[in-house]
Amino acid sequence: MATLKDIKTKISAVKKTQQITKAMNMVAASKLRGAQTSMEGFRPYSAKFAEVLGSLAEKAGEETNPLLEVREEVEKVHIVLCTSDRGLCGGFNANLISKAKALKKEKEEQGIDVVFTVFGKKGRDWCRKNQFEIVSEHIGVVGGRFGFHVAATSGQKLIQGFLDNTYDEVYIVYSEFMSMARQVPVLKQLLPILPITPAEHEAETEETTYLAEHICEPSPQELLGELLPKNVYVQLYSALLETSTSEHAARMAAMDNATKACKDMIENLTLVYNKARQAAITAELMDIVGGAEALKG
Amino acid sequence: MAGNIKLEVVTPEKYVVDEEVQIAVAPGSLGEFGVLIGHTPFLTTLRTGAMHYTDAKGAERFIFVSGGFAEALPDKVTVLAESAERRKDIDLERAKAAMERAEERLAKSQSEDIDFNRARAALERALHRIRIAETSR
């Protein structure tokens, strides 16, 4: 049986762990607020962008753009995997990685090569360990502060590779922020760009009539050609923002659980400690009483 | 003047401008254009450069924009740009440093590859920023 001192040491150790998890929880909470603010800041841009793109796609009609063309023979696909740089956030990274793994397996069964672009250390480490080909890696983006140019630069590279036939499809795996308690790994096709569904018109019929009469400069087709690559950046940026926010939310939840677990453990240990102390006192009393009896006799 | 038109300048990070203005002038890719209230629906890409507007009180303001496009509707102009800064927010030191870096890179690579194009775009942005920041008030 553990001595009193052992139990005491253990309790103070758990208490220190609890302090750490509590602090991490609070750090994650404040970072989450920042991430959520940038997500909200991006919303007007992306909403407006989708609206313009939708009405433009409608107008440009069937005009083909290389970024929209679906290739019949797919030989190589490119997966953009967004994970966090740091651990201690529950199953967050594992979920994302298993999503990517499933996609890779599916493609390889069809005899398609898979290469990766990774955001975040965890995803990179996973690729390295399994010796998957990494085209480019970006550390220190997810979870921190980053600007639109990050998405634009890597989006540019992805488009370049797609256009010169280095790969035929690009997917992105990221975590969507549904709520504080729910972050869902999502798989999306980035390239070729899926047919753009015109923005929901029913709600705003008035606006639709305006859009239909737009004068475009240069021609709608050229405009679309300008906007489609931007669409890729927008999607990439929003995926990164979502992943960052999700990471902090996941870490908050994980740290909250850890703090609770520490609390439970401290309670149990205190109980054991008190019992042991009481047992020691009882034993001592027995000794004294026994001794007194012996002297009397 | 018939009235004011609403101007919104939005970047991926935030709203840069969201107010009623008398006139908004922006550098379209086929030429500069001005928008007053009642403009016909119009959509265009923008060059890197300066846009300016006259606010409701009649003061003229300048904004640096790059990588954007604009949509004009009879009662509203929306500018979506990858970056946009009001003149007072431009970091002149940074722009000058960026200009020097870009010039250096341009001097090194003579071919028309991606790096060259990127450096040229960076130089263009820096020059426009400096020009806007240094226009006298």
Q: Both B82 and B117 in a single domain?
A: no
Q: Both B43 and B108 in a single domain?
A: no
Range of the domain at B109: 91-134
What distance in Å separates the CA atoms of residue B28 and residue B34, rounded to the nearest whole number? 10
**For chain B, how big is the Rg over CA atoms in Å?**
16
Q: What is the structure's pLDDT at A197?
A: 64
Q: What is the structure's pLDDT at A205?
A: 42
Q: Both B35 and B99 in a single domain?
A: no
Kindly provide the ipTM of the predicted complex, given to two decimals. Answer: 0.81
Chain B contact present for A132, CB below 8 A: no
Chain B contact present for A271, CB below 8 A: no
What distance in Å separates the CA atoms of residue B130 and residue B119, rounded to the nearest whole number? 16
Q: Both B112 and B80 in a single domain?
A: no
Q: Both B77 and B96 in a single domain?
A: no
CB pairs < 8 Å spanning A and B: 73
Q: What is the structure's pLDDT at A213?
A: 64
Q: Both B116 and B84 in a single domain?
A: no
Q: What is the tally of helices (H) and strands (E) in chain B?
A: 2, 7
Interface test with A, best of B8, B43, B114 (most A CBs within 10 A): B43
Mean pLDDT over residues A184-203, rounded?
73
CB A215 to CB B82 under 8 A?
Answer: no
Q: Which residue has the tokens 């400690």?
A: A273
Task: Compare CB distances from B80 to A38, A45, A160 and report the shortest one's residue.
Answer: A45
Q: What is the structure's pLDDT at B117?
A: 76
Give the total number of structural domains in chain B.
Answer: 2
Conformation bin of residue B31: beta by default, left when phi > 0, alpha when psi is -120 to 50? left
Q: Both B21 and B83 in a single domain?
A: yes
| Residue with more model confidence, A144 or A282 | A282
Those residues with Cβ within 8 angstroms of residue A112's Cβ, 6 or more apart along the chain or in another chain = A74, A75, A76, A77
Of residues A219, A151, A217, A231, the one with CA closest to residue B46: A217
Please report the domains of chain A, with CATH numbers, ordered by start residue: 4-24+253-289 (1.10.287.80), 28-252 (3.40.1380.10)
The whole-angstrom distance between residue A53's C-alpha and the CA centroid of its chain comes to 27
Chain B contact present for A62, CB below 8 A: no
What distance in Å separates the CA atoms of residue B67 and residue B62, rounded to the nearest whole number? 17
The pTM of the full predicted model, rounded to 2 decimals, is: 0.84
Q: Both B78 and B95 in a single domain?
A: no
Which tens digits make up the pLDDT trace of A227-282? 888 899 999 999 999 999 999 999 999 999 999 999 999 999 999 999 999 999 99
Identify the closest residue of chain A to B78 by CA–CA distance: A48
3-class DSSP state of A72: coil
Q: What is the structure's pLDDT at A204?
A: 43
Q: Both B55 and B77 in a single domain?
A: yes
User: Residue A284: beta bridge partners?
Assistant: none
Identify the closest residue of chain B to A53 by CA–CA distance: B43
Which tens digits make up the pLDDT trace of A83-142? 999 888 888 999 999 999 999 999 999 989 999 999 999 999 999 999 998 998 899 888
Q: Both B44 and B65 in a single domain?
A: yes
User: Residue B45: beta bridge partners?
Assistant: B69
Q: Both B21 and B79 in a single domain?
A: yes
Residue B108's CATH number? 1.20.5.440
Chain B contact present for A66, CB below 8 A: no
- Report the gap between the CA of A156 and the closest CA in chain B (Å): 10
Q: Both B101 and B46 in a single domain?
A: no
CA-to-CA separations, A196 to A103, A250, B85, in angstroms, rounded = 23, 32, 31
CB B30 to CB A217 under 8 A?
Answer: yes
What distance in Å separates the CA atoms of residue A244 and residue A223, rounded to the nearest whole number? 31
Q: At what angle do helices A148-163 and A220-296 cross, to 10 degrees?
A: 120
What distance in Å separates the CA atoms of residue A169 and residue A76, rounded to the nearest whole number? 7
Task: Compare CB distances from B41 to A44, A56, A210 and report the shortest one's residue.
Answer: A210
> Is pLDDT above 60 for A200?
no
Q: Which of B55, B72, B88 is the last residue of a domain?
A: B88
